[in-house]
Each structure stands twice: as C-alpha cells, then as structure tokens.
C-alpha cells in the first residue's frame, strides 16, 4: 500500500482525503492545528510546521509521495526528499514558480503572448 502525505490539513486536504478512500493508500497529514478539517479523516496525523525544514523533511522521509494543500511549505525540504526518491506533487521547481508571484505573472504573460502570436500567424497565413 502506498504511503501518501499531505502538507496542510485545511478544507483542500479534507477533500483530498475524501477522494483517497477510493484508492489503496495509507494517508498522512501534517498540520499545526490538531482540530484542522483533515485531522480526523487521515490514517496518521502529525503536528508540525509546514514551513519548517526539519518538520517537513522528517514527515516525508518514509512516504512514497507528498502533495501540498498550500504553497507556504518548505520547498528546500521537498527538494531533498525528491532527491531521495519521494514523489512530490507539484514538483519543487513548479512550487518555486507558484510561490514567486512576479515570476509566475511573467510566465503567464509570456505564454499568453505566444498564444496570440500563434493565433495571429494561423489567421494571416
């Protein structure tokens, strides 16, 4: 059985856990609030700070995969875990883009520009 971790235990974490019951997975959640919405639906609950390198790294060491509920997680710990074979969704490089709002805006602006060029090219030719 795969061991899947969720960093953050709010409403999105709860919805992820509700969907996970349809799969043969053992679920783990780390959150700093014992009364968070996801706390009572997972197989294993860990109190921890998702922005702490040590907490995130120690939480993820024995897992097969980790996903996040909110982007304020420690991406350095996720990079280290990924390097050790833990599957991270979204991957740490994508997470850095998500966290950097200006860079994300520039990426979207560039993609939009490319789409306009492609559309204009197909109309003109």
For the chain, the structural domain boundaries read 2-89, 100-125
Tell me if the pTM is above 0.85.
no
Q: Which residues does the chain have with pLDDT short of 70?
A: 99-105, 107-108, 110-125
Question: Which two structure tokens, joined as six digits, stand for 26?
Answer: 């053992």
Q: What is the pLDDT of residue 113?
A: 58
Span 10-34, pLDDT tens digits = 999 999 999 999 999 999 999 999 9
- What is residue 117's predicted lDDT score, i.e. its pLDDT? 57
pLDDT value for 49: 97
Residue 121: the pLDDT is 52
* Of 124, 125, 6, residue with least CA distance to 59: 6
User: What pLDDT score was predicted for residue 119?
Assistant: 54
User: Which pLDDT score is estimated for 108?
Assistant: 67
pLDDT of residue 70: 83
Taking CB atoms within 8 Å and a gap of at least 24, the contacts of 29-38 are 29/5, 30/5, 30/6, 30/55, 30/56, 30/59, 33/9, 36/9, 36/10, 37/9, 37/10, 37/11, 37/13, 38/6, 38/8, 38/9, 38/10, 38/13, 38/14, 38/69
CATH (residue range 2-89): 3.40.50.20
Q: Phi, psi at residue 49, to the nearest 5°?
A: -100, 115
In the three-class reduction of DSSP (H, G, I as helix; E, B as strand; rest coil), residue 64 is classed as coil
What pLDDT sits at residue 15?
A: 95
């Amino acid at each position: 059985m795969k061991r899947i971790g969720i960093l953050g235990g709010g409403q999105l974490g709860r919805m992820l856990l509700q969907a996970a019951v349809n799969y043969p997975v053992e679920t783990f959640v780390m959150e700093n609030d014992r009364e968070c919405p996801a706390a009572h639906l997972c197989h294993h609950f860990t109190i921890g700070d998702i922005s702490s390198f040590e907490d995130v790294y120690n939480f993820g060491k024995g897992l097969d995969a980790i996903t996040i509920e909110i982007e304020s997680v420690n991406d350095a710990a996720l990079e280290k875990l990924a390097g050790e074979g833990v599957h991270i969704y979204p991957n740490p490089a994508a997470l850095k883009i998500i966290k950097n709002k200006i860079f994300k805006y520039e990426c979207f602006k560039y993609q939009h520009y490319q789409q306009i060029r492609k559309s204009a090219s197909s109309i003109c030719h």
